[in-house]
Structure 1
């Protein structure tokens, strides 16, 4: 695994493909594409919001879209290639987001996930996030979560 780094502009197609692969399992459950599959990943990469981890060949293994907000840092999307899940890549990218929040002087990370993505809710809970509220309508009911970012 390479160190997390910003995605390059030429990597936008690979970023979109990784998101599609990571979220494809949810298509039958939701009956439509999850929000991350509908995003403009070229624009997100161009805005400098995407951090990636690649394998030894340079193929993308995981990514996070991290968006600064006035009160917190939003972890908008966390995606890991299905064949790379369970290797700590998501945890490593959450740590990158925590470091970025500290660098910006923000005390919280925020995220939301679909309520039907129960595995994600469980993962984020294990990583220290707590549910703050729910909103939206099925199949896009969201679980909003946040995590305090400890100071060094």
Structure 2
């Protein structure tokens, strides 16, 4: 089950994000943006949803005409169990419930495994551009 995050979940949320993105930070040579996000603000805004057993989370931000998938993070020891896919399916359900016809996300161009997963799930690359020291890929999925 996926539920809205609660204030008491914040330390675990921060722990999951740090653990999930640390290997990527080492690969790309800079901290991925989710590692520096204001998780407390996202929590207060109702943007964070967690698996009820706290093995993973997704940050969803409604925007004009699209639901922005700001972050998908799963505990590293839980990879390969379909939890990321489950969280992304939830994002589609949430977008539909909000009347939003599409999802969008960004990821680092060096995160090729993630890009391949998003493409398998129906996302398309819409552009690629630098943001600071990062080479960022923009992706979208129309529902």
TM-score between the two structures when normalised by the length of structure 2: 0.95
TM-score between the two structures when normalised by the length of structure 1: 0.90
- Is the 1:74–1:110 Cα contact (8 Å) retained in structure 2? yes
1:87 counterpart residue number: 81
The answer for unaligned runs of 5 or more in structure 2 is: none
1:63 matched to 2:57 = yes
Which ranges of 4 or more aligned residues in structure 1 deviate by more than 6 Å? none
Alignment of 1:1-152 (within 5 A): 3-55=1-53, 60-137=54-131, 139-149=133-143
Instruction: Indicate how the Cα distance of structure 1 residues 103 and 54 shifts in structure 2: closer, same or farther if over 3 A, else same.
Output: closer
| CA distance in structure 1 between the aligned counterparts of 2:125 and 2:36, rounded to whole angstroms | 24
| CA distance in structure 2 between the aligned counterparts of 1:86 and 1:95, rounded to whole angstroms | 16
- Is the 1:116–1:139 Cα contact (8 Å) retained in structure 2? no
| CA distance in structure 1 between the aligned counterparts of 2:94 and 2:45, rounded to whole angstroms | 15
The answer for unaligned runs of 5 or more in structure 1 is: none
Residue by residue over 1:101-129, the C-alpha shift from the partner in whole angstroms, topping out at 9 and shown as x without a partner, is 11111110000101111111011111110
Aligned positions, number: 143
Q: CA deviation at 1:139?
A: 3.9
Is the partner of 2:31 in helix, strand or coil? Answer: coil
Is the partner of 1:131 in helix, strand or coil? Answer: strand
Residue by residue over 1:73-128, the C-alpha shift from the partner in whole angstroms, topping out at 9 and shown as x without a partner, is 00110011111011111111111111111111111000010111111101111111
Q: CA deviation at 1:138?
A: 6.8
The two structures, once aligned, show a CA RMSD in angstroms of: 1.2
Q: Which has the higher strand share?
A: 2
